[in-house]
Chain A
Amino acid sequence: MMGFKRYLAKRAITMFGVLMATLLVTVALVGSNMDAILNQSVALDVRTQVTNNKQLLASFKTPEELDNYTQNQIKQRILALGLDQPWYSPPRLGLAMYKILTLDFGHAKFLTSDTGSSDVKDIILEKLPRTILLFTTATVIISILGIFIGAIAANKVNSKIDKITSAFAVISSSFPVWWIGLLMIFLFAFIYPIFPARATPTVPVTDPGYLVSLLYHMALPLITLVLIGFGSWSYLVRNFLIGILQEDFIMAKRAVGIDEKKIMYRHALKNAAPPIVTVLALGLSGSLGGAIITEAVFDWPGMGRLYFEAISVLDLPVIIGATYVLTAFFLASIFLADILYGYFDPRVRRQ
């Protein structure tokens, strides 16, 4: 068991390193922009303060005097905020990373949450549950379907069902999810108008019918995710199972005369569980990574679309906040895969 703990600790450190590296890259890439924007907003703040203060305004005799005063004020403010140093100076970088780690993302420049708050934390807390709802539901459905179909295909290798499963897996995984999304919108919002083309609910958040509306709007993206995902997933399950069905202990059970179904669902599936669960958790992280495009296609109001919107208007605090949260979830699911793998497969623990 000590080995497993050490393994987990090592993985956790790596994950933390990844999180830090991702954030550093993000801050480094948007940092110079951020400086320019911050300086501009400081200058704007000071100017409005001076012009709003009538008394102060009256005390200046010449326009040069006023100009000097405001310039001085701006300089002082910049000094006070530490903006005189570039973003890559250690104190500022340290402060920025510390703030991000403590989930203090500041206020968004343009974007707001549905309730009107511009606090990045509020915006993210509002969008995050929707992304989790969509992608975990899809993953659960995909895994159930996949295990079931994979077991059937593995039971009858080279049968028609098996061949269809394999072909479907290869073909479905070569189409981009978002393109299938476009086709689904064309089919189910234009030709047969069953579902709405845009997945953003039309009723306000405060309305009691909001959840129902949200679920109805979720149908099309959910169907698409499942459709594109379960093929390759059942193919994977099939391959794992075929490998295990050739092992000696299964042969022995067969020889004893245990019923085929029981062998498949009791013994084979149990032994295929570690790779299956691991790949499942990795699949979740993969689809989370693709959330940006998937949500953009369907206009699903989650983290992915928030990220995309933030990028298109260059709302830096939101970009940094969303990168942090997306990365954290991405890593959490990879880490989960590690733990599960170690839990199911004693060989890892003993290493």
Chain B
Amino acid sequence: MSFSPKEIWHEFSRNDIGLIGIGIILALLGLSIIAFVSIPVETFKEWNDPANWLSYPKSALPAWVNYFLPQKIPEHLVLLPQVSIQKTDRVMAVTNLFAVDYQYDSFPSDFIYQYSTKYSASPLIQMSVTRPDGLELELMSTSLPSSDTQTKFSGMIFSTDDFMKKNLKSDSDHFLFPFDTLSSENIVFSKLDENKILKGHYVFKVTFYDVDGNLSLDESKFILGGKVYGIMGTDELRRDLAVGLLWGTPLALFIGISVAVGSVILGLVYGVYAGYKGKTTDEAMMRFNDIIYAMPVLPLLIILAVTIGNSIFLIVGFLVIFGWVGIAKVSRSMALQIKTLQYVEASKLMGQKDWKIIFKHILPQLLPYTFASIAISVPGAITTEAGLSFLGLGDPTFPTWGQILHDASSYGAAARGLWWWIVPPGIMIAITGLAFVFMGHAMDTIVNPKLRR
């Protein structure tokens, strides 16, 4: 029953499915490292903070869908300015130019200008756009709140602003169609003779006029709202799904592995102790085991999460409470066999203490079995946690794949066709589970010669 690590690896390397499993797990570990390195934990903790995602598009498809579509869906663009400063006698003008070559087949969903500035007195902002056909449209002119001392101010100009629509109306004689129901972006990006998209170079110009001449711009960006974004798209709450999926990987691995290790160790010690002691102790311990074994896990997990708490560590603990029973049963029957072996009886006769016999002679025999059952227990833990999160009972500070799916379901993503919100998290759950099943299966065939055929 005992194997040296070298033998195990030799057997393992001949098992294709096991190698595939190991390969996937290594890839997932790689993803976790990428997540840690590229996305700081702070960003991830802002997952549920809507303010953090304002500059992202709402329910945008992944950007790569454009490769498969004849009609190019507008991409969500964040434009950076080309700044120039002119100074006359007393007035200073800071001009920001945002140029874009718009080659998509439909209108952008909106546009937002975002800025933060330091100034005194009362500067003026003016926004206009020069279209590919040379027409220049005035969009907005507004003043910042006046102040006597140096102040900081951040603000945004939205294309949904009624004032912008009013400004556009004064140019309505250039267009051959009525403006009534159209939003500003559908006018700015439209052909003159009909309400269709006009492709080409657009230049948005935002100018700050300051009388005091000590205005400075800290942030200035122009967001052209689109319907595709990034590798994975965004959800209804504008969150970048790539961030969520990437960070879900280490979380799933953490939950799965810690629950599996916890339950297997607990079950092993419990089962071996019961089997070794035998008689009444064994009987009592096994009846308790039966009771936990037959309890309905999910309802109890839900009640535990609601009444005690839903931090990720608590949930790992709850899963361990219900996870150890099966392993305890198997390791008990193994211990029953091992304890009759002569060398165990011999050490008993020599007066070895019980716990020493258990730890020195019985547990090491069960090690190969232990590793196989750890691998096999991982998928169950991951799916159960995902299920809990899917019901909205997971840890909200660490959003997992299940939680992404919970949000998707509560916004009716399936019935509304937002497939990019549903498909990737589920596939990640399944792939992670499969990888551990493959690995566990391969290890099982090694430690259980009966299965080798």
Contact = CB atoms under 8 A, between A and B. Distances in A.
Report whether chain A binds chain B.
Answer: yes
Interface of A: 14-15, 17-18, 21-22, 25-26, 29-30, 33, 170-171, 174-176, 178-180, 182-183, 185-186, 189-191, 197-198, 288-290, 292-293, 296-297, 307-308, 311-312, 314, 319, 322-323, 326-327, 330-331, 334
Nearest to B433: A174
Contact of B423 (A15, A183, A297, A322): A183
B308 A174 contact: no
26 contacts: A15-B294, A17-B287, A17-B291, A18-B295, A29-B307, A170-B437, A174-B437, A176-B383, A176-B386, A178-B390, A179-B405, A179-B422, A179-B429, A182-B422, A183-B414, A185-B414, A186-B417, A186-B419, A189-B414, A189-B415, A197-B414, A297-B409, A308-B302, A311-B306, A331-B294, A334-B294
A15 B379 CA distance: 28
Contacts of B300: 22, 25-26
B387 interface: yes
B158 to A, nearest CB: 31
Nearest to A329: B296
A293 B298 CA distance: 9
B298 A289 contact: yes
Contacts of A22: 295-296, 300
A176 B387 contact: yes
A319 B12 CA distance: 48
A170 B405 CA distance: 23
Contacts of B306: 311, 314
Contacts of B415: 185-186, 189-190, 197-198
A2 B425 CA distance: 53
Given A183-B423, A290-B298, A174 B379 contact: yes
Contacts, number: 127
Interface string B58-89: 00000000000000000000000000000000
B137 interface: no
B298 A182 contact: no
Interface string B360-400: 00000000000000000001000100110011110000000
B294 A175 contact: no
B260 to A, nearest CB: 15
Interface string B140-179: 0000000000000000000000000000000000000000
Nearest to A180: B426
A323 B430 CA distance: 29
B219 interface: no
Which of B296, B391, B415, B434 has the most chain A CB within a 10 Å cutoff?
A: B296
Nearest to B293: A18
A17 B429 CA distance: 35
A293 B390 contact: yes
B40 interface: no
Nearest to B412: A197
A95 to B, nearest CB: 21
A174, A180, A311, A323 — which one has the most chain B CB atoms within 10 A of its CB?
Answer: A174
Contacts of A170: 434, 437
Contact of A293 (B295, B296, B391, B423): B391
A36 B307 CA distance: 14
Contacts of B100: none
Q: Shortest 3 CB-CB distances between A and B: which pairs?
A: A197-B415, A179-B426, A185-B414
B254 to A, nearest CB: 19
Contacts of B269: none
B287 A190 contact: no
A207 to B, nearest CB: 24
A178 B430 contact: no
B296 A30 contact: no
A182 B427 CA distance: 12
A73 B298 CA distance: 42
A30 B414 contact: no
A316 to B, nearest CB: 10
A292 B302 CA distance: 10
Contacts of B422: 179, 182-183, 186
A183 B303 contact: no
Contacts of A178: 387, 390, 405
A30 B303 contact: yes
A284 B391 CA distance: 22
B290 interface: yes
Given A292-B302, A327-B296, A174 B391 contact: no
Contacts of A331: 294
Contacts of A18: 290-291, 294-295
A15 B295 CA distance: 9
Contacts of B287: 14, 17
Contacts of A17: 287, 291
B303 A190 contact: no
Task: State which size class the interface on B falls in.
Answer: 35 or more
Contacts of A311: 302-303, 306, 393
Given A29-B307, A190-B417, A197-B415, A308 B391 contact: yes
Nearest to B305: A311
B303 A14 contact: no
B295 A182 contact: no
Contact of A29 (B304, B408, B414, B429): B304
A27 to B, nearest CB: 10
Contacts of B419: 186
Nearest to A11: B290
Given A176-B429, A292-B391, A326 B299 contact: yes
B353 interface: no
Contacts of A30: 303, 307
Contact of A330 (B296, B390, B417, B423): B296
A21 B297 contact: no
Q: Which of B304, B379, B412, B426 has the most CB of A within 10 A?
A: B426
A327 B302 CA distance: 14
B416 interface: yes
Contacts of A174: 379, 430, 433-434, 437
A312 B306 CA distance: 9
B416 A190 contact: yes
Contacts of A175: 426, 429-430
Contacts of B433: 174
Nearest to A327: B296
Contacts of B408: 182
Nearest to A175: B430
A326 B296 CA distance: 8
Contact of B303 (A26, A179, A180): A26
A25 B409 CA distance: 30
A329 B392 CA distance: 25
B296 A289 contact: yes
A334 B297 CA distance: 14
Contacts of B387: 176, 178, 290, 293
A100 to B, nearest CB: 15
Nearest to B434: A174
A179 B401 CA distance: 11
A33 B442 CA distance: 48
A263 B303 CA distance: 50
